[in-house]
């Protein structure tokens, strides 16, 4: 390369008017009424990618091409194949019977994957939380954004998990928040106040390991991450300072400017979902002790969640205990960043002890509850995130369904702003907001949280409401001229990619590649024809249910999908099943016929792997 290119030297003189940087021309001679197709291509090759640390990290494509001419020749030579492969997913998705704005929104968000990623020469990959802002692969935001990569590029998620696993703190196993400004390898440890100041990331890491490996059938990565996962989960379990089965925290979650101290609803829900994931993964890996440990903690924690965080009308933002003499003004506000666990205030008497060594029979220490109990009634849009996360990952929702629907209706009532076509992050009954300078997370709509609200609504069977939320977000961004740029902490924020999780939730699609199990339980009482998009395959899916029968058809366009068990939602209890593989009848067993739960559990005689051009059809007859 020329020396000036190596120095990245700008040789064009500055001009006031927009300069012409170049032209791309193709000559073609046409006669009268003639037609011609002219192809043009633009290729680039910029190997001089330097990190913020001044290291030349390059680009992954350097491993595949020698220069831009090599790229151009490859494009010209393989244009038909590349065009067909690139258009396959959007074409199939837009043919689907999903709502139009939902489909467009799914595709719109994919620009973030090219806009905000670094894929460097040594194969390390990073998705920046916000374009030019924040860290790469931040685990709390990946809790949302990683649904897209886990669905479309599972091999990249495998690399990200490897990178996140390597950064677990050597002293206590705490998960690192995210790579600061670069995707280069950095040693584990480092700045405790920044990289290791969060608690939710320990649970979110466990959930991402579970989902990524389950959807891709990647047992090798699950085993590699297992020691780090269990250590992180046990660290969070040790935060149960109230002794109720749920962690006590003071900040340190993705909503990092909310003043919450105690059993925080968001954190508690994500923790319970992660325990479910830990239990199931332990069973697959043959770790019976951890399986039993996680199951016991989950059952105790779920009971505590319903007991402490439900006040008869809503789920609380957080539950806390304070000394008897406590006043709200006693607590300072602001973001809390702690590496070590922060213990709650002393619950018992803080008065000086009398000379006789006791505090007296009338002291609060001798009462049944020697502390104040507080329950914050702030309405957080994303409060029940963990419950929906468990559902969309095939672990099952764990909170009372009626209470969940009531909470979601409250969110739509309190936090929806019709004039802005937005759902803000939170509100209080009296309209006040916490002092959270310099940010305003409460009063702000985050597209990622709105899309995850849609996911929650789909999981709760509230499909019409979920579709409305997606429509509001789409309309708002089109109106403001930023359809492809969803901002939060800077532009092109990663969190909205969670809409790809909402895709699975709206279809009721659950894939367990470990067990070769596919479930289809659409929350909407409507037929579906369209794209089947999964970590291992792209195909077509058809679902139709009537009182007499339910028909499902799956065909594969690319990749593979292994099936041994099918779970299909039916309108009436199933009684008979017919299965055809590539048009040929296949023996199958209807395992839970007669249970009356409206779901058919179909067991095939062996595991079949559908590949490109192959199909499977199922008809379930009702009673």
Same domain membership, residue 390 and residue 260: yes
| 608 close to 563: Cβ distance less than 8 angstroms | yes
By DSSP bridging, strand 261-264 and strand 599-611 are unpaired
**Residues 470-483: pLDDT tens digits?**
999 999 999 999 99
Same domain membership, residue 599 and residue 481: no
Q: Interior CA angle at 308 toward 333 and 265, to 5°?
A: 50
Residue 268's DSSP bridge partners are none
Model pLDDT, residue 260: 87
Model pLDDT, residue 354: 47
pLDDT band at 440 (very low <50, low <70, confident <90, very high): confident
When mean pLDDT is compared across 184-188, 222-226, 578-582, 616-620, the lowest value belongs to 184-188
Domain finish residue from 475, 507, 539: 507
Same domain membership, residue 106 and residue 71: no
Same domain membership, residue 260 and residue 138: yes
Same domain membership, residue 560 and residue 431: no
- CA 481 to CA 473: how far, in whole Å? 12
Q: Interior CA angle at 417 toward 487 and 464, to 5°?
A: 95
Same domain membership, residue 576 and residue 491: no
Same domain membership, residue 529 and residue 565: yes
- CA 454 to CA 451: how far, in whole Å? 5
For residue 485, pLDDT beyond 80:
yes
How big is the chain, counted in residues?
623
- CA 319 to CA 374: how far, in whole Å? 6
The fraction of the chain above a pLDDT of 90, given in percent, is: 74
> Which CATH number goes with the domain that contains 537?
2.60.40.700
Same domain membership, residue 514 and residue 503: no
- CA 195 to CA 197: how far, in whole Å? 6
When mean pLDDT is compared across 194-198, 367-371, 399-403, the lowest value belongs to 367-371
> Which CATH number goes with the domain that contains 311?
1.50.10.10
Average pLDDT (539-545) is 97
Rounded to a whole number of angstroms, the CA Rg of the chain reads 27
Residue at 2 is within a domain? no
pLDDT band at 543 (very low <50, low <70, confident <90, very high): very high
Residue at 216 is within a domain? yes
Q: Is the dihedral of CA 145, 176, 224, 301 positive or negative?
A: negative
What strands lie across the sheet with 318-322, from one edge to the other? 249-250, 261-264, 318-322, 372-376
For residue 202, pLDDT beyond 60:
yes
Residue at 158 is within a domain? yes
What secondary structure letter does DSSP report for 91? Answer: H
**Which residues span the domain enclosing 223?**
100-326+372-507
Distances (CA, A) of 438 to 186, 334, 381, 458: 30, 9, 21, 34
For residue 357, pLDDT beyond 90:
no
Same domain membership, residue 523 and residue 475: no
pLDDT band at 619 (very low <50, low <70, confident <90, very high): very high
Residue at 91 is within a domain? no
When mean pLDDT is compared across 17-26, 364-373, 424-433, the lowest value belongs to 364-373
């Amino acid at each position: 390369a020329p020396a000036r290119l190596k120095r990245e030297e700008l040789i064009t003189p500055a001009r006031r008017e927009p300069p012409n940087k170049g032209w791309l021309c193709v000559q073609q001679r046409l006669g009268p009424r003639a037609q011609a197709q002219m192809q043009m291509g633009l290729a680039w090759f910029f190997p001089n990618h330097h990190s913020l640390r001044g290291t030349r990290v390059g680009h992954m494509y350097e491993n595949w091409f020698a220069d831009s001419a090599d790229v151009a020749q490859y494009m010209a030579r393989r244009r038909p194949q590349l065009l067909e492969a690139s258009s396959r997913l959007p074409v199939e998705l837009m043919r689907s019977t999903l709502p139009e704005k939902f489909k467009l929104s799914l595709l719109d968000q994919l620009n973030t994957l090219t806009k905000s990623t670094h894929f460097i020469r040594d194969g390390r990959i990073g998705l920046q939380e916000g374009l030019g802002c924040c860290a790469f692969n931040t685990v709390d935001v990946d809790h949302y954004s990683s649904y897209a990569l886990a669905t479309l590029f599972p091999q990249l998620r495998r690399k990200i998990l490897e990178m996140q696993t390597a950064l677990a703190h050597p002293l206590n196993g705490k998960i690192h928040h995210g790579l600061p400004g670069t995707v280069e390898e950095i040693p584990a440890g480092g700045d405790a106040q920044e990289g290791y100041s969060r608690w939710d990331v320990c649970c979110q890491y466990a959930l991402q390991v579970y989902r990524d490996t389950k959807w891709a059938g990647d047992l090798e990565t699950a085993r590699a991450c297992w020691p780090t996962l269990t250590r992180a989960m046990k660290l969070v379990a040790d935060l149960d300072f109230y002794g109720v089965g749920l962690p006590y925290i003071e900040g340190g979650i993705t909503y990092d400017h909310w003043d919450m101290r105690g059993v925080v609803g968001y954190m508690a829900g994500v923790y319970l979902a992660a325990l479910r994931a830990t239990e199931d993964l332990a069973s697959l890996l043959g770790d019976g002790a951890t399986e039993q440990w996680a199951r016991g903690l989950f059952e105790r924690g779920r009971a505590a969640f319903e007991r402490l965080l439900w006040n008869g009308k809503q789920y609380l933002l957080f539950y806390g205990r304070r000394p008897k003499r406590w006043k709200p003004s006693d607590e300072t506000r602001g973001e809390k960043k702690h590496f070590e666990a922060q213990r709650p205030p002393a619950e018992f008497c803080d008065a000086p002890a009398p000379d006789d060594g006791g505090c007296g029979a009338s002291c609060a220490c001798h009462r049944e509850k020697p502390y104040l109990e507080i329950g914050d009634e702030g309405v957080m849009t994303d409060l029940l995130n963990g419950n929906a996360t468990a559902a969309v990952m095939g672990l099952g929702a764990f909170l009372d369904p009626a209470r969940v629907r009531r909470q979601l209706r409250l969110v739509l009532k309190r936090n929806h702003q019709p004039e802005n076509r937005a759902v803000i992050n939170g509100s209080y009954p009296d309209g006040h907001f916490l002092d959270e300078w310099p940010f305003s997370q409460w009063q702000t709509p985050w597209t990622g949280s709105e899309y995850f609200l849609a996911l929650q609504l789909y999981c709760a069977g509230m499909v019409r409401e979920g579709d409305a939320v997606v429509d509001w977000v789409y309309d708002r961004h089109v109106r403001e001229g930023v359809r492809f740029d969803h901002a939060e902490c800077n532009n092109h924020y990663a969190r909205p990619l969670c809409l790809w999780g909402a895709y699975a939730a709206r279809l009721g699609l659950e894939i367990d590649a470990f067990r070769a199990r596919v479930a289809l339980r659409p929350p909407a009482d409507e037929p579906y024809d369209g794209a089947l998009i999964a970590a291992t395959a792209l195909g077509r899916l058809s679902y139709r249910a009537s009182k007499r029968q339910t028909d499902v058809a799956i065909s594969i366009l690319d990749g593979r999908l292994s099936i041994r068990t099918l779970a299909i939602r039916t309108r009436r209890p199933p009684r008979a099943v017919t299965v055809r593989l590539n048009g040929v009848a296949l023996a199958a067993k209807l395992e839970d016929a007669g249970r009356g739960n409206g779901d058919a559990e179909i067991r095939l005689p062996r595991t079949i792997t559908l590949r490109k051009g192959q199909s499977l059809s199922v008809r379930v007859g009702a009673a």
